[in-house]
Amino acid sequence: MSQSDSFDADVLVVGAGPAGLALGAALADAGLHALLLEQQPQVALEDPPEDGREIALTHRARRVMDALGLWSRIDPSEIAPLNEARVVDGGSPQVLHFGRGSGERDGAHRGGAQPLGWLVPNHRIRQAAWAAATARPGVQVLCDARVDAVEREAQRATVTLADGRRLAAPLLVAADSRFSATRRLAGIGAAMHDFGRSVVVGRVGHAQPHAGVAWECFGYGNTLALLPMNGQRVSAVVTLPADRAPQWLALSDAEFAARIEAQAEGRLGAVHAAGPRHHYPLVGVYAQRFVSHRFALIGDAAVGMHPVTAHGWNFGVYGVEVLARELAAQRRCGGDIGGPRALQAYEREHRHTTLPVWLGTNAIVTLFTDERRMPKLARRAVLTVAERAPGLSRLLKAGIERQLTGGGVAGAAPH
Ligand SMILES: Cc1cc2nc3c(=O)[nH]c(=O)nc-3n(C[C@H](O)[C@H](O)[C@H](O)COP(=O)(O)OP(=O)(O)OC[C@H]3O[C@@H](n4cnc5c(N)ncnc54)[C@H](O)[C@@H]3O)c2cc1C
């Protein structure tokens, strides 16, 4: 045992989703022993099925994934560059551009040749995270292990599993999804924003090349995002009032493709279905605190974003980087890794990074999904002013691109 014989690990992590696994890998690289507790069986983690999520990754997320050995474990044929994003509202001819097609100045801002980001299927990220974490001797994953209770004393955190086993460490980290039961067991509340909407997502093939362009089409009735994948395929993400999701799920493949083709307004040419449809209710979550006594939250358990600004996993990776860095610093100076110093530093930095985007995302979603006349006029004005007023346009785009490259706080991204 690393700290004391009475501990089962340096850090107990609840949840072996991508955030928990990436944290395990980062802690192992810092010389810490991480024990991950996951309720699902091993087979669901090592070979997860396609789940319809295409994750837009920022430059910073890629850098961290590279350092942890996740990036090199993803087949390059599954990584699609995101060259440009375009936003359109209803039938308006106004298009807001981000990235390569948005003018020389923006290209110069990003050094010209770099894509805005990359799109990678979520199940490939999960698979890579599993392989990277379990390749490290410092990471142990206990599957079929559901955490049912949490106790914290002065020097330790202890969990009780559904089968009665008890495990202890100086620090407990919850990475058990946006509806984290462990967060609640630790007495931390969360702001929850139920958008009353769902996404229905499915891959489609199409006749015309997409050129690495993502489209966000804010229509009236539903929103359609078209996310470029490698080859002549996009992920079609339909955001709609939750009560209409069953109807979209019940469509035949041909009916679904016809609707996407019509709403894409000729941008992709003829469309056909190229995979199953999946469905996610949209609930955003922001924890009131990210840390408490011998306890920290990471991944969606800390910040569960609406996918429109494509930040959920990106924030998960940023959090992993910061928490692991602070714990490693404590370990190097012989400090208590479960003590308040490292945890508070993580809390400060992660909140500073995520809170403005959380608030901004919710405001964008509210504005762009409100079907009343005034909000419709307001969003048309936002797009027009953003595209035509050079100063504002530059500021807005620079902020958004900074977000995509992982360099700061601000606005929206595609999805
Ligand atoms: C449609 C959609 C599109 C998205 N697009 C993007 C995007 O473009 N960019 C982006 O950055 N993000 C995106 N996201 C968000 C991203 O998918 C999530 O942020 C990420 O998957 C969360 O990972 P996680 O490890 O925090 O949580 P999860 O993947 O939810 O993992 C939690 C794990 O904890 C386990 N668990 C739960 N409770 C317990 C317990 N009591 N005991 C033991 N184990 C437990 C679960 O079994 C699970 O394995 C999108 C999400 C959706 C729904």
Which CATH number belongs to the domain containing residue 62 in this structure?
3.50.50.60
* Ligand 1 center to 22 CA (angstroms): 12
Residue 365 has what pLDDT? 74
Within a domain: 24:
yes
Ligand 1 atom at shortest distance from the alpha carbon of 201: 1
Does residue 269 belong to any structural domain of this protein?
no
Q: Would residue 129 count as lying in a domain? A: yes
Residue at 391 is within a domain: no
Backbone φ and ψ for 286, nearest 5 degrees, come out as -135, 115
Assign 3-class secondary structure to the chain. Answer: CCCCCCCCCCEEEECCCHHHHHHHHHHHHCCCCEEEECCCCHHHHHCCCCCCCEEEECHHHHHHHHHCCCHHHCCHHHCEEECEEEEEECCCCCEEEEEHHHCHHHHHHCCCCCCCEEEEEHHHHHHHHHHHHHCCCCEEEECCCCEEEEEECCCCEEEEECCCCEEEECEEEECCCCCCHHHHHCCCCEEEEEEEEEEEEEEEEECCCCCCEEEEEECCCCEEEEEEECCCEEEEEEEEEHHHHHHHHHCCHHHHHHHHHHHCCCCCCCEEEEEEEEEEEEEEEEECCCEECCEEECHHHCEECCHHHCCHHHHHHHHHHHHHHHHHHHHHCCCCCCCHHHHHHHHHHHHHHHHHHHHHHHHHHHHHHCCCHHHHHHHHHHHHHHHHCHHHHHHHHHHHHHHHHCCCCCCCCCC
Question: What atom in ligand 1 is closest to the CA of residue 44?
Answer: 49
Ligand 1 proximal residues by C-beta, below 6 Å: 14-20, 37-40, 53, 55-56, 122, 146-147, 175-177, 181, 199, 201, 280, 299-300, 307, 310-314, 316, 415
Phi and psi for 99 in degrees, rounded to 5? 100, -155
Write down the pLDDT at residue 363.
Answer: 81
> Hey, what are 388's tokens?
């035509």
pLDDT at site 255: 97
Which of 64, 126, 176, 306, when mutated, tests ligand 1's pocket best, judged by the most ligand atoms within 8 Å of its CB?
Answer: 176
Write out the residue range of the structural domain in which residue 187 sits: 11-77+121-192+284-371
Q: How far is Cα 67 from Cα 92, in angstroms, rounded to an integer?
A: 43
Q: Which residue has the tokens 């924890």?
A: 287
Question: Which residue has the least CA distance to atom 39 on ligand 1?
Answer: 176
Asked, for residue 357, whether it belongs to a domain, the answer is yes
Number of domains in the chain: 1
User: Six-digit token pair at 260?
Assistant: 């996407």
pTM: 0.89
pLDDT on residue 347:
98
Distance 241 CA to ligand 1 centre (A): 22
Per-residue pLDDT at 110: 46
∠ CA 285-287-289, nearest 5°, is: 170
Q: In this structure, is residue 210 part of a structural domain?
A: no
Q: End-to-end CA distance of the chain, in Å? A: 45
Pocket test for ligand 1, best of 45, 122, 290, 405 (most atoms within 8 A of CB): 122
Residue 17 CA to ligand 1 centre (angstroms): 6
Distance 366 CA to ligand 1 centre (A): 23
Contacts of 411 (CB under 8 A, 6+ apart): 309, 357, 360, 364, 396, 399, 400, 403
State the pLDDT at residue 311: 85
* pLDDT tens by residue, the chain, 415 residues: 444 568 999 999 999 999 999 999 999 999 999 999 999 999 999 999 999 999 999 999 999 999 999 999 999 999 999 998 888 876 666 677 777 655 433 333 444 568 999 999 999 999 999 999 999 999 999 999 999 999 999 999 999 999 999 999 999 999 999 999 999 999 999 999 998 999 999 999 999 999 999 998 877 678 899 999 998 999 999 999 999 999 999 999 999 999 999 999 888 999 999 999 999 999 999 999 999 999 999 999 999 998 877 788 999 999 999 999 999 999 999 999 999 999 999 999 999 999 998 898 888 777 666 666 666 666 666 666 655 655 555 555 555 555 555 554 333 333 3
Closest CA to 213 of 86, 314, 330: 86
Residue 17 lies in a domain: yes
- Nearest CA, atom 21, ligand 1: 313
